Amino acid sequence: MFAKLVEAVGLASSSTVHGHLSRLEEKGYIRRDPTKPRAIEIVSDQTNDNINMEETIHVPVISKVTAGVPITAVENIEEYFPLPEHLTSTHNSDIFILNVVGDSMIEAGILDGDKVIVRSQTIAENGDIIVAMTEEDEATVKRFYKEKNRYRLQPENSTMEPIYLDNVAVIGKVIGLYREM
C-alpha cells in the first residue's frame, strides 16, 4: 500500500507516507486496522470529539471587481463561498466576496484571481483598501485617500497612476483575502 501512495502523491519514500498516516491516526482523523494493512477509515466529525469543526457561513460572490483598469460592475451573485464564521464577525449579511481582475494592487499582496472579502460600508478612512464605484459606475479595488478637493484611489503598483475623482461611492472595505494555491 505504501509504495502506491508514494507514487500517487510524489513522496520520496514509504517511510514518509507511514509517518504522515501515523500522525493522522494520532490526531484522530483516520483509523487503521492492523489486521487489514490496506484499509484506512476516515473518522467522521460526529464520531471524533477531538476534531474542531468550526461553523461556516456561505457568503455571496458578487461579480468581478478590477484591481487594474476598472470594469463595469454587475451586481449579481455568481455563487456562494463558505467562510469560517469567525472571519465575518456578527454582521454576516454585510459580508460579500469579489473576484479580483488585474494587477494594480500587487504591492499590497492582492493578485489577479484572488477573492477579496469585503464588509459593506459607505465610509472609509485614509489608507483603507476599499471597493469603490467611480463616477462612471465602474467598480475598482484601491487604497482610499480623501484629499483637499478630491478623492484619490491609489493603486499598489508603482507602474500605475492614481485615479483622481470629485465623487466616489465607497461600496465596502476589504477585510480579508482568499487565494487558491
pLDDT digit string (tens) for 30-61? 888 888 877 888 886 555 455 455 688 888 88
The Cα 97–Cα 174 span in angstroms is: 9
The predicted structure's pLDDT at residue 17: 77
pLDDT digit string (tens) for 53-112? 568 888 888 865 555 544 444 456 788 888 888 776 656 668 889 989 899 999 999 999
C-alpha cell at 74: 454587475
Report the relative pairing of strands 71-72 and 138-146 from DSSP bridges: antiparallel
Residues 6+ apart with CB under 8 A from 129: 105, 108, 110, 141, 142, 143, 144, 173, 174
Which candidate in 64, 104, 115, 158 is catalytic?
104
C-alpha cell at 42: 476516515
Q: Computed from CA positions of residues 93, 61, 163, 179, in that sequence, does the dihedral angle turn out positive or negative?
A: positive
Which candidate in 14, 142, 148, 173 is catalytic?
142
pLDDT digit string (tens) for 103-142? 999 999 999 999 999 998 889 999 999 999 877 777 899 9
The backbone region for 23, taken as left when phi is positive above 0, alpha when psi lies in -120 to 50, beta otherwise, is: alpha
Would you call 104 a catalytic residue per the annotation?
A: yes
The Cα 106–Cα 92 span in angstroms is: 28
Q: What is the DSSP letter of 79?
A: E
**Domains of the chain by start residue, with CATH:** 2-42 (no CATH), 56-178 (2.10.109.10)
